[in-house]
Amino acid sequence: MTDAARMHDVTPETRRIVDLVLDYSRERLLAQDTPLDKPLPAAELSRLAGRTISEEGVGAERALGVFTHVLAPACITTDDPRYLSFIPTAPTKAAAAFDLVVSASALYGGSWLEGAGAVHAENEVLRWLADEFGLPASAGGVFVQGGTLGNLSALVAAREAARAHRADTGAAAPTRWAVVCSSQAHSSIASAARVMDVDVITVPTDADGVLRGDAVAAVLANVHERVFAVVATAGSTNFGIVDDIAGVAAAAHAHDIWLHVDGAYGLAGMLSPLARHLYAGVEQADSVIVDPHKWLFAPFDACALIYRDPEQGRRAHTQHAEYLDTLTDRSDYSPSDYAAHLTRRARGLPLWFSLATHGAAAYREAVSASIVLARRIADEIEARSGFSLVRRPQLGVVVFERDGWTRADYEAWSQRLLDVQHAFVTPSSHEGRPNARFAILNPRTTFDDLTGILDTMH
């Protein structure tokens, strides 16, 4: 054995390293009392961790010890049932465990040639999702890193389709392309527009936060020649609000404009019979995204991007180079062709394994449980003196105010909750007013967890 191969060969040393890592992973996966933990200042982390990177290395035991006792406790546990900020994650044990298998198997998920089995399994999940969303049998797509990349990739495909249509019809391209979305759309839409160097035209929502088709139609009447895509939101991050997708679809398609549905958080709500009616019109979308690492209980990071016509995505994103010809000249389905990426992990496999293991009915029950709990705690908030519900929840996000509290009050309360390891609930705001917000997603979150948090708001 050469020194160069020492890290890669199966030796007593590498066996010991693998055993250490697998033992840690097993203990973490099966732990029932994992603390919330909290971040530390950079200087304190440097002091506690010491220098770990050197020419000689510190050895697996010490490196894992630093991670276990210093680094991991400085990371908030995102799958804790009282992690209720932002949009939480709550991977099933099956999905989290299979994430180890994906890494251990040295899989490449970019091409059919190199990863046909993995791509086949991922495509089965995408097909199941497309069926749930009412998209045609021709629909397909790819798992990407997250909703920001999913939205960007979909919008790039939409612009390329608009350019091709203009070229085919002999129409001139606009001086500046634009995308239309709600004033409440996720920040990733504006981010994608900056990357693409296009304009964002925002449309105000109604008082209930919903973007409706008539408002979109009124805007498009004046600017449709510039617009290559309209974005509807299926579950906003701040409130979990679903737009009038059917109305927005009618407004967009009246001008032959691409409809993209950003369902990163909320589109999984379609699995529940309690919420499915909210999503009428999704079946008319030209592209959709949903993040399995949110409400589909997969580990970070995964976003399912699905095109009504995958060929539109392939034409926009296939990369060409001499060393890639052996892939791009084939008719095989290669995931790298359908988004703004080339190298990719087979990140859809943990969801595939969990779905195959537990069945879709278990997912429907888990999604429904979040909706039921959100409605129940909303009723409790409305009934409590000194509390005000900002808006009735559609999905699993509950936003409320403690009467008379300032932003400083919410921030101090939030910090106290984390300091004593009670919960992670960060302040939010709406229309300039500070508030608190429960993002309920984890099936292990209980009504008592939530009322216990409310009880701390003295």
- DSSP string computed for 245-277: HHHHHHHHHTTT-EEEEE-TTGGGGGGSTTTGG
Domain boundary, last residue among 307, 327, 358 = 358
Same domain as 66, residue 14? yes
| Structural domains in the chain (count) | 3
Same domain as 229, residue 165? yes
Same domain as 236, residue 183? yes
pLDDT reported for residue 352: 98
Same domain as 391, residue 343? no
pLDDT reported for residue 60: 97
Phi and psi for 360 in degrees, rounded to 5? -65, -30
Domain encompassing residue 414: 360-454
pLDDT reported for residue 46: 97
Same domain as 240, residue 351? yes
pLDDT reported for residue 327: 59
Radius of gyration over alpha carbons of the chain, in Å? 24
pLDDT reported for residue 253: 98
Q: Which pTM does this prediction carry?
A: 0.96
Same domain as 69, residue 37? yes
Same domain as 311, residue 431? no
44/400 Cα distance (integer angstroms): 35
119/336 Cα distance (integer angstroms): 11
Same domain as 267, residue 143? yes
Which phi-psi region, left, alpha or beta, contains residue 235 (left: φ > 0; alpha: ψ -120 to 50)? left
Tens of each residue's pLDDT in the chain, 458 residues: 567 999 999 999 999 999 999 999 999 999 998 999 999 999 999 999 999 999 999 999 999 999 999 999 999 999 999 999 999 999 999 999 999 999 999 999 999 999 999 999 999 999 999 999 999 999 999 999 999 999 999 999 999 999 999 999 999 999 999 999 999 999 999 999 999 999 999 999 999 999 999 999 999 999 999 999 999 999 999 999 999 999 999 999 999 999 999 999 999 999 999 999 999 999 999 999 999 999 999 999 999 999 999 999 999 999 876 556 665 666 689 999 999 999 999 999 999 999 999 999 999 999 999 999 999 999 999 999 999 999 999 999 999 999 999 999 999 999 999 999 999 999 999 999 999 999 999 999 999 999 999 999 99
Dihedral angle, C-alpha 271, 272, 275, 279, nearest 10 °: 10
Domain boundary, last residue among 59, 92, 125 = 92
Sequence-distant (6+) residues with CB within 8 A of 92 are 297, 298, 354, 358
Query: Is 120 in contact with 356 (CB distance < 8 Å)?
Result: no
**For residue 82, which of 373, 411, 365, 442 has the smallest C-alpha distance?**
442
